[in-house]
Structure 1
Amino acid sequence: MVSDKGGPAGFVYRSRFAVYRALRRKGMTKTRAAEISNAGRTRVQRSQMARKAARTRQVRGRKRH
């Protein structure tokens, strides 16, 4: 289990653990889920990720439902 201990136990901020669990339920690897959940630690970082995702979807021609 990934914890906030770090090292071989892995690392996910405690405040972001619910996000980590949700990503794992979607089938993501531990590494990838930790990477994403830790990246969005602050509101600014999360909105930045959302803007980037929107841009990516737009470039790939996907519509928002």
Structure 2
Amino acid sequence: MVSDRGGRWGFVYRSRQAVYRALRRKGASKSKAARISNAGRTHVERSTMSRKAARTRQSRGRKNR
């Protein structure tokens, strides 16, 4: 089970635990899965990150998909 307890039990926001489990199924380590799933807690945070990623790809000259 995923923990939202913190400390040595780790921490993943309850609303993002499904994402954490999906990343673990794909082979991500516990710490990596927690870091990714905790990064975009709200929809606004996730959409902000996606816009930043799009700008980064554009600035590096990658084509749109």
Tell me the number of residue pairs that the alignment of Structure 1 and Structure 2 aligns. 65
Structure showing greater Rg: 2
Structure 2: where are the runs of 5+ without partners? none
| Stretches (4+) displaced over 3 A | 55-65
Name the SS for the 1:27 alignment partner. coil
**How large is the Cα RMSD of the aligned pairs?**
1.8
In 2, distance between residues paired with 1:63 and 1:44?
25
TM-score by length of 2: 0.77
Percent identity (aligned): 75
| CA distance 1:53–1:4, shift in 2 (3 Å) | same
TM-score by length of 1: 0.77
Aligned to 1:10: 10
Structure 1: where are the runs of 5+ without partners? none
